[in-house]
A and B are shown apart, each in its own frame.
Chain A
């Protein structure tokens, strides 16, 4: 009899059940989408924060002082120590290599340019160099680590003729202010230390590079006469905001604490690991970038988390409102059942069974709609997938059932308590 009542209730009141079901589906969908966004937002914003550029720099251990004013390095060219370019792919071998978005080696060289033989810095670097470490093929360079560098034909115009040079070519980029001073345009050649290099574009960075020449690393090494030399390496890594553990000195840690520190993507531990893989190097965080991203990240994460709570609250309320309405409308039915001798327990059981069915069906439908919604948000805002943890599914279903029950409970209690005589007479 019990299953039949429930079944008939769904069959005969299909439209009302559909309304309640839609409310549950929508509520669960919004909850799922918001939870998915909230759990993934940290990772997504962390990636976006990389547009501020590198947060770590690796320099030779016994480096001499930089004597640099306004982007011009006054240090004698062969002075100081160098890193070995061949060591760089090892960066992909560190523990947190998945968090390392990219790296760019830099080799500034002083050259004389133009008829008045003015001193200009030529900066050798990777643009988008294909490298491999073990079986791992990847590309890296300033196009990844310095996303604000823009290449144009000068005057801000873009064209197919003006592009990033190839890393294996003899083509260079001219900083926009230097180009204006020299009166050079893309396609022209420039003579540097007896080499004729073709200008493939004008680079605008808003920094010291606007007064420099940016060339493939190999060209700079060739001019300097030191193959394989790199002055410093900028590394862009996704990090965890600093906390009490991150700032401790690894030398004073107990082995367990050390393991925990080593296996957390703190900017300090990534710097430590970079020093391990690159011989004779000193890795340090660029505090301007590294210290601020933690605050920004935690603010945005906290904000989305609080909004998620608001979303959960609103959807819970929507579901319980829909359930309460659906039950309130069926007082006559309750009256009839009670007049025929049904106990409070039996009547409540019917309602709860119906609520359970609705919650399960609505929960499953809502979860899939919510997953689609989250994916859409991820694609349209972050151009990447928002992944939904499979663990979320049982949690969401459990929440859906709980909220549906909680929302129905008060209405069921009132319906059961209602005097059947009044209900049958239609007074209420």
Chain B
């Protein structure tokens, strides 16, 4: 009968034994969990704010790192940024191109150019000089995207004729331009124009011929190699030094016009990006701060009850800090995933290439989220500590 009244017949020892299976820490965990479940609306809005902030920060950091690489590839469309020129009176060694590629890797574009001044034979402009260039068409096409070419040569003895050169060597008479004859040191060759080349620069006055055909005809080896070296300014500098060691008989020099223009535009863009990213991250951090402070402040009654029941200052602080930290971690995790997605989307929309997820930014996002969460939890607690629990519980 008496045993139906719980605890009545138990000795203090038994009571203590019954408590043991429920460890002390579980109360702490239960309070954390229950707080989140019972006030799920407020908790959800705090988590949402945290998540958005983490997502925005992740996206911004990802973009900041990746966009510079993306823009650099865009800048490579400007063509060569390094040029190798044979010293006066000397040619480049025959294996120069292979050596350049062995140093810079296959990804780097290197295009050889050989120059000769030939004379026009026959026609209205008999005897006039014209510059003929031997090159590798496939490579030149990749390097010089801005060349406007009506048709690239494929067949033997087909040439690419600059717009202005065309008016002299092969004036337009019918629908197709006529073949013409050139001589170089007494050796004549007949060439057929495959297409017109328009660049608005010196190329317009020249005639481009395949390198091996050019060499068979003139015997002149390439004297210039134009290179589009990838990478940051420092990496390009290193490549230039390596190339200079490799080819002591040649002049290796940066194309200053391209290098400095790129550095200038890239620096300005990076600075703008940095400023905007900072603004955006700060705004979202502020959003989190505002939401969380409200959330913690709202729970001053929990705080008062805990203190009234005898919880130590350390325990109460620990409880709120743990809650904030948990929120920060979960928010950072979810936000990171969303942020990676946003960055990838921006990359696809703007650069037509996905932004590679950079997991190295995750520690920063995590640390930042937890720090902001802790700050916003500690601030109200510091304010509340001075207030007597009784006053809070009375609702004043």
Q: A interface vs B, CB < 8 Å?
A: 19, 23, 26-27, 30, 33-34, 37, 41, 44-45, 48-49, 51-53, 56-57, 63-70, 74-75, 146-148, 150, 204-207, 284-292, 295-296, 299-300, 302-304, 306-308, 310-311, 313-315, 317-318, 321-322, 324-326, 328-329, 332, 373, 377, 380-382, 426
Contacts and interface: CB of A to CB of B under 8 A. Distances in A.
B261 A314 contact: no
A377 B275 contact: yes
22 contacts: A41-B272, A52-B78, A52-B257, A52-B261, A56-B200, A66-B131, A66-B202, A67-B130, A67-B205, A70-B223, A75-B129, A205-B257, A284-B200, A288-B200, A299-B70, A303-B67, A303-B273, A303-B350, A308-B276, A314-B283, A381-B272, A426-B395
Contacts of A63: 164
Nearest to A76: B129
Contact of B284 (A287, A291, A314, A381): A314
Nearest to B276: A307
A317 B49 contact: yes
Given A311-B283, A321-B290, 10 more contacts: A34-B279, A204-B256, A206-B257, A295-B74, A295-B77, A296-B74, A300-B71, A310-B56, A328-B42, A377-B275
A310 B268 contact: no
A53 B257 contact: yes
Contacts of A75: 129
Contact of A318 (B128, B259, B286, B295): B286
A346 B269 CA distance: 51
Interface string B26-44: 0000000000000000100
A308 to B, nearest CB: 7
Contacts of B290: 19, 23, 318, 321-322, 325
Nearest to B256: A206
B272 A377 contact: yes
A288 to B, nearest CB: 5
Interface in B233-275: 253-261, 264-265, 268-269, 271-273, 275
A342 B279 CA distance: 42
B52 interface: yes
Q: Is the interface of B mostly helix, strand, loop or mixed?
A: helix
Given A314-B52, A328-B298, A37 B164 contact: no
B27 to A, nearest CB: 23
B52 A317 contact: yes
A34 B282 CA distance: 13
A307 B146 contact: no
A264 B201 CA distance: 24
Contacts of B230: none
Nearest to A49: B265
A109 B42 CA distance: 80
B282 to A, nearest CB: 8
Given A287-B199, A321-B287, A381-B272, A292 B77 contact: yes
Contacts of A318: 283-284, 286-287, 290
A289 B261 CA distance: 10
Contact of B256 (A69, A148, A317, A382): A148
A68 B103 CA distance: 31
A288 B199 contact: yes
B334 interface: no
B349 interface: yes
A321 B52 CA distance: 12
Nearest to A65: B205
B137 interface: no
B294 A45 contact: no
Contacts of B253: 206
A381 B165 CA distance: 44
A45 B56 contact: no
A27 B115 CA distance: 62
A299 B205 contact: no
B140 interface: no
A17 to B, nearest CB: 13
B131 A329 contact: no
B221 interface: no
B205 A68 contact: yes
Nearest to A68: B202
A113 to B, nearest CB: 15
Contacts of B395: 332, 426
Contacts of B346: 303, 306
Contacts of B350: 299, 302-303, 306
B58 to A, nearest CB: 11
A27 B144 CA distance: 46
Contact of B264 (A37, A48, A314): A48
B201 A288 contact: yes
Contacts of A300: 71, 265, 269
B196 to A, nearest CB: 13
A259 B85 CA distance: 47
Nearest to B56: A314
Contact of B200 (A286, A310, A328): A286
A129 to B, nearest CB: 21
B271 A381 contact: yes
Instruction: Please indicate which of the listed interface residues B253, B264, B271, B279 has the most CB atoms of chain A within 10 Å of its own CB.
Output: B279
Instruction: Please indicate which of the listed interface residues A51, A64, A317, A380 has the most CB atoms of chain B within 10 Å of its own CB.
Output: A317
A30 B71 contact: no
Contacts of A292: 74-75, 77-78, 145-146
B298 A30 contact: no
